[in-house]
Amino acid sequence: MKKTLLLWPALAVLALDQATKYLIATRIPLYETKPLISGFFNLVHIRNRGMAFGIMNRPGTDWGFILLLGATLGAVALLLFWFYRLKSEERGIAFPLSLILGGATGNLIDRVRLGEVIDFLDFYIGPYHWPAFNAADSAITVGTLWLAVTLLFHPTLKEKKA
């Protein structure tokens, strides 16, 4: 299995994530909203120093930022380690690992460069909004779900031999 080829999805996610964040940051002023589908979807420009759902998103809490930065660096390192230790029969988990790696790297770049992450996708129904997110978050979520389903339902080598 040629592992370098399997990194292309991570690079694609990273490029898409950084391009979309650049477009939002240069075209929509901070805290502005651009309705796209009335009653369902907006583009917004917000910044999040914390993690999912705004957890630890408090200005002036440097310990939280350092914790998130360290955790993200650790996660990227573990993903790379796992990715490169994959055996050929485990290639089914390479793609979801690549999605997670690309998303984590995209958000890591924002944290290092800006001290926060740009979020811009705002889905809602009436007054009920899902917390805003970005392309990296989407890749991490899809990759994690895909990985979980694959690990839970993929037969192991021992079961194949039996």
The C-alpha atoms of residue 138 and residue 141 are separated, in whole angstroms, by 5
Question: Could you tell me which of 103, 97, 100, 99 has the C-alpha nearest to residue 83?
Answer: 97
Mean pLDDT of the chain: 87
Give the active site residue among 17, 110, 122, 137: 137
Please count the other Cβ atoms lying within 10 Å of the Cβ belonging to residue 149.
11
- By the 10 Å C-beta count (0-12 exposed, 13-18 middle, 19+ buried), 106 is classed as buried
pLDDT tens for 10-66 read 999 999 999 999 999 999 999 999 999 999 999 999 999 866 655 555 566 676 778
Which comes out higher in pLDDT, residue 157 or 51?
51
Query: Residue 125 — pLDDT band, cuts 50, 70, 90?
Result: very high
Contact 117, 111 (CB under 8 A): yes
Which comes out higher in pLDDT, residue 1 or 136?
136
Which comes out higher in pLDDT, residue 33 or 157?
33
Concerning whether 62 is annotated as a catalytic residue, the answer is no
The C-alpha atoms of residue 131 and residue 71 are separated, in whole angstroms, by 21
Contact 140, 90 (CB under 8 A): no
Q: Model-level pTM?
A: 0.86
Concerning whether 110 is annotated as a catalytic residue, the answer is no
| Total domains, the chain | 1
The C-alpha atoms of residue 86 and residue 106 are separated, in whole angstroms, by 23
- Strand arrangement of the beta sheet that strand 117-125 belongs to: 33-37, 41-48, 117-125, 128-129
Give the active site residue among 17, 110, 119, 122: 119
The C-alpha atoms of residue 102 and residue 158 are separated, in whole angstroms, by 31
Domain residues for 119? 5-161
